[in-house]
Amino acid sequence: MSLRRDGAGNGGDPLARLRGDEAGLERTVAAARAAASAELEAARREAERLASESRTEAEAERDALRAATAAALDAEAEEARKANLEEAQDLQRRAEAWRERALARVLAVVRGEAP
């Protein structure tokens, strides 16, 4: 059995067929690389999108937490102001009462009614 070089019979020149197969494989590999590259790029964009969404959500949560904390601090400060006002009013009432007693005591001492 002999190989014919004219391409007729037995499937043609084996070397030419191998070159054709190699070219086909190179095209397949190039297409696979292009597809893989496209998939990697799509995955990278998706990862960036997810990271951006996560960052945006985290910033919104941070802002909400800051607002809640500020509101709680404002409420505590208002309660403290009210307590201070009540205490100041109580001290003022007591000071006025002491003033009356102190004035009465001074007058009693001046009049000689008290030691």
- Which pLDDT belongs to residue 6? 47
**Mean pLDDT for all residues in the chain:** 90
What is the pLDDT, as a whole number, of residue 21?
A: 92
**The pLDDT of residue 8:** 47
The answer, as to whether pTM is greater than 0.75, is no
- Distance CA(91)–CA(85), nearest Å, equals 10
Question: Which pLDDT score is estimated for 76?
Answer: 97
* pLDDT score at 35: 97
What was the pLDDT predicted at 12?
75
pLDDT of residue 114: 79
Residues 40-61, buried b or exposed e (16+ Cβ, 10 A)?
eeeeeeeeeeeeeeeeeeeeee
pLDDT beneath 70, residues of the chain: 1-11
